[in-house]
Amino acid sequence: MEIPGYREEPFEWYRKMRSENPVYREDNNVYIFKYRDVTAVLDDYRTFSSQFRDLMAPEMRRQLDELSSPSILILDPPKHTKLRNLVSRAFTPMKIASYEPEIRKITNALLDVVDGRSTFDIVKALTYPLPVLVISKILGVPDRDMEKFKEWSDNLVRVLGFGVDMDTEREMAQYFSGLIDERKHSLSDDLISLLIRAEVDGEHLTRQEIIGFSILLLAAGNETTTNLLSNAIVTFSEHPGSFERLREERSLIPTAIEEVLRYRSPVQSTRRLVKREGRIGDMKVEPGDFIFVYLQSANRDEDVFPNSEEFIIDRKENRHVAFGEGIHFCLGAPLARLEARVAMEELTKRYGDIRAVHVSPEDRVDSFIMYGYRRLEVQAS
């Protein structure tokens, strides 16, 4: 669909669609914009499937399945339920909380590099490397492979939802397969070891399932968290006084991060595939229809959020859908929240103010799904 002005700012287009065409069909594509429809679709996995590999040409599907099993993101129950239960073991609140000291250490090591400089690119210095270093540490991957990881992650995100980068999948599958072999010989307390050990009702994860999940963590966890942090800096800069307020009242940081997630969502949209007849509002849908689910538009829905187009740093009720909704609700949400909180805490300890000096749509990531910045020059004082 032609999206006027989308690359500049999508928010005006969402607002217009919510008011004029909240459920909009173009051939087999159905676009949805209201909070109530977005949550209804995401809550009904029986009608709205996530199994996108089912659409692939059989030969490509076969090749891909040999490398890695479909990840939980693109599976429906009952397979989704079984796998999610297994991998959830590695993402318990206690497990995530135990990463805090390491995340703080990584954040400070990154900030030390730009210490004393009054201007720098905060994406390059902090928001881009932080999530890759954290996930590498959690998975048990050596730091020296970080650049390779980031490249893989960028490649995966580029094709997210639209196709498959076979070369990247192959390289990553080989890499993780080697790592699994190493760990099988000497289990440790990293995530790969945890996944090898994980068991529910006597069921273990297969090698292909562990590889599929590790690839998903890179694809789903890195750019999203980078974007959340850069969106936070841009949003605070647009609202002078925000940074100072957070410095004086650090307990407000988690609330402010939730509002950034709502106001400038790192993942703008997701998709579903209709597998049985159903309805969205008054619109009939049938097998073969694609649903484009605009999370960002739902997050700005005036029927749900008072003054929805305003950034309110201490917003009280905030049931945003930036992490999705229903059975696929983001498994990494506690980790993303933790990384964002620690990063903001350390920034507010070091600086009196941080302000984006130049914010341009040109510097945004080139994607219709993700919202964030590839580079962001800041002035730090």
Amino acid at 82: K
Contact, 373 vs 261, CB < 8 A? no
State which H helix or E strand residue 121 sits in: strand 119-121
Phi-psi region of 241 (alpha: psi -120 to 50; beta: other; left: phi over 0): left
Interacting residue with ligand HEM among 267, 280, 343, 365 (CB under 6 A): 267
Residue 370 binds to ligand HEM (criterion: CB under 6 A): no
Torsion angle of the four alpha carbons 99, 350, 149, 209, in this order, in degrees rounded to the nearest 10: 30
Residue 22 or 70: which CB sits closer to ligand HEM? 70
Residue 296 binds to ligand HEM (criterion: CB under 6 A): no
Q: Which residue is nearest to ligand HEM (CB)?
A: 332
Q: Using CB under 6 A as the criterion, what x/- string covers residues 110-149 for binding ligand HEM?
A: -------------------------x--------------
Residues 29-88, interacting with ligand HEM (CB under 6 A): 72-73, 84
- DSSP per-residue codes, 244-270: HHHHH-GGGHHHHHHHHHHHS-SB-EE
| Min separation Cβ 334 and ligand HEM, Å | 9
| Min separation Cβ 115 and ligand HEM, Å | 26
The interface region with ligand HEM, picked from 94-102, 169-177, 321-329, 360-368 by CB under 6 A, is: 321-329
Helix (H, G, I), strand (E, B) or coil at 153: helix
Contact, 170 vs 156, CB < 8 A? no
The interface region with ligand HEM, picked from 29-37, 216-224, 237-245, 308-316 by CB under 6 A, is: 216-224
Residue 216 binds to ligand HEM (criterion: CB under 6 A): yes
- Of the candidates 168, 160, 322, the residue with the CA atom closest to the CA atom of residue 231: 322
Q: What distances in angstroms separate CA 80 from CA 44, 264, 288, 321, one per listed residue?
A: 14, 29, 21, 20
| Min separation Cβ 87 and ligand HEM, Å | 7
Residue 83 or 356: which CB sits closer to ligand HEM? 83
The binding site for ligand HEM (CB under 6 A) comprises 72-73, 84, 135, 216-217, 220-221, 224-225, 228, 266-267, 270, 295, 322-324, 328, 330-332, 335-336
